Amino acid sequence: MKSLISIVAPAYNEEDVIEKFYLRITKILSALSEYNYEICIVNDGSEDNTVKICHRLLDNDPHISFLSLSRNFGHEIAVAAGLDYAKGDIIILMDIDLQDPPEIIPQMIDKYEEGYDIVNAKRKSREGETWLKKFTAEMFYKVFSASSGKVRMPKNVGNFRLISRRVVNAFKELRETHRFARGLFCWVGFPTIEIEFEREARAAGKTKYNYKTMINYAIEGLTSFTTAPLRWAAYIGIITAIFAILYMIYVFWMAITKDPNLQKGWSSMMIVLLFFGSLQMIFLGIIGEYLGRIFDETKNRPLYYIEEYTTKIN
Ligand code: UDP
Ligand code: MG
């Protein structure tokens, strides 16, 4: 019995790329004679012809499995759903826009055969990205690794990775609503290796991520892995409190020595007031962030609903 490889590719309004993706990946997978394969496309509530195109592929190729979510849940949830339904002994997560080149899949499988459970595909360069994007990405890795303790996240690794069945089984137990898959795979553990590749430009269509979603993603990543920002709040609070006490002693001293400068103190009072006001706002924000998460997690809702699941793989 041949082992099964499942490709899990989420798609949100990708009518322009699905067929290109299908052709290119099929060429690679059909050449791997020791393996059977499944291409599981997860439709994340697309509003274009994605579903229609997927149905056409389903009719013509028994290797296709199609999972359709009841609405747009976002990339992370689409991946979680895909992993719940994929049947493979080996699973490869990739974007459907062909930014992740299928040609390196045989190399990933070699690594799996060597005994690795997770094979991360690492972008060699970030060419074509703005300096701001590169800079913010760099900052994010720095802050994340400084605050996430034992969880080590590799740099420049996106969604593209191979994972073994036992990693998928572990991952499936993590049902949190706020998901940061990259971090979750590090958290799960098991032997991991990286291979490098050149990230290509999108084959067609356009990115669904802009700066707002990127910032949200970074906040998700940090707050779902560490409570360190709460501790920073405490540290900064203690330090500013020390300065405030010193300043209070100084003001008090001026008052008892009837220092003639005392009347001029209005501006410094305002500064102190504003400073502490703003600090409080920042830390209320941080606390609110965690409170929001507790709220979301305690609701314990299912991650997604399935509208359709079709497969010929058994
Ligand atoms: N995607 C998704 N749901 C969303 C947004 C994106 O399933 O709400 C899919 C999208 O179809 C693609 C992958 O996630 O296969 C990555 O998205 P995109 O290419 O827009 O992101 P980028 O590569 O620019 O980071
Ligand atoms: Mg992309």
* pLDDT tens column, 17-29: 999 999 999 999 9
Tokens encoding 37: 């394969």
Q: What's the chain look like in SS3? A: CCEEEEEEEEECCCCCCHHHHHHHHHHHHHCCCCEEEEEEEEECCCCCCHHHHHHHHHHHCCCEEEEEECCCCCHHHHHHHHHHHCCCCEEEECCCCCCCCHHHHHHHHHHHHHCCCEEEEEECCCCCCCHHHHHHHHHHHHHHHHHCCCCCCCCCEEEEEEEEHHHHHHHHCCCCCCCCHHHHHHHHCCCEEEEEECCCCCCCCCCCCCHHHHHHHHHHHHHCCCCHHHHHHHHHHHHHHHHHHHHHHHHHHHHHCCCHHHHHHHHHHHHHHHHHHHHHHHHHHHHHHHHHHHHHHHHCCCCCCEEEEECCCC
Q: Which atom of ligand 1 is nearest to the CA of 158?
A: 25
Tokens encoding 47: 């509003």
In angstroms, rounded to a whole number, what is the distance separating the alpha carbons of residues 310 and 218? 34
Ligand of minimum distance to the alpha carbon of 67: 1
Superfamily designation of domain 3-225: Spore Coat Polysaccharide Biosynthesis Protein SpsA; Chain A (3.90.550.10)
Which one of 49, 75, 77, 133 would you pick to mutate in the ligand 1 pocket, going by the greatest count of ligand atoms within 8 A of its CB? 75
Q: Which atom of ligand 1 is nearest to the CA of 206?
A: 20
Q: Which atom of ligand 1 is nearest to the CA of 14?
A: 11
Domain chopping of the chain, boundaries: 3-225, 228-299
Residue closest by Cα to atom 12 of ligand 1: 95
Model pLDDT, residue 264? 65
Taking a 5 Å cut-off on Cβ, the residues next to ion ligand 2 are 95, 97, 99
Measured at the alpha carbon of residue 224, what is the angle toward residues 218 and 230, in degrees to the nearest 5?
A: 95
Which one of 7, 12, 15 would you pick to mutate in the ligand 1 pocket, going by the greatest count of ligand atoms within 8 A of its CB? 12
Which one of 95, 220, 303, 304 would you pick to mutate in the ligand 1 pocket, going by the greatest count of ligand atoms within 8 A of its CB? 95
Task: Give 89 Cα–ligand 1 centroid separation in angstroms.
Answer: 25
Task: Give 197 Cα–ligand 1 centroid separation in angstroms.
Answer: 19
Q: Which atom of ligand 1 is nearest to the CA of 13?
A: 11
Ligand of minimum distance to the alpha carbon of 209: 1
Task: Give 76 Cα–ligand 1 centroid separation in angstroms.
Answer: 9
- Give every residue of the chain whose pLDDT is below 70, as ranges: 126-129, 201, 203, 227, 261-268, 270-271
Task: Supply the pTM of this predicted model.
Answer: 0.77
Task: Give 304 Cα–ligand 2 centroid separation in angstroms.
Answer: 22
Could you identify the residue written with the tokens 């795979």?
A: 185
Q: Which atom of ligand 1 is nearest to the CA of 73?
A: 8
Task: Give 229 Cα–ligand 2 centroid separation in angstroms.
Answer: 30
In angstroms, rounded to a whole number, what is the distance separating the alpha carbons of residues 120 and 171? 15
Task: Give 206 Cα–ligand 1 centroid separation in angstroms.
Answer: 9
In angstroms, rounded to a whole number, what is the distance separating the alpha carbons of residues 292 and 295? 5
Residue closest by Cα to atom 16 of ligand 1: 95
In angstroms, rounded to a whole number, what is the distance separating the alpha carbons of residues 120 and 164? 12
Q: Which atom of ligand 1 is nearest to the CA of 9?
A: 15
In angstroms, rounded to a whole number, what is the distance separating the alpha carbons of residues 236 and 228? 12
**Within 6 Å (CB) of ligand 1, which residues are found?**
10-12, 14, 44, 72, 74-75, 78, 95-97, 99, 207-209
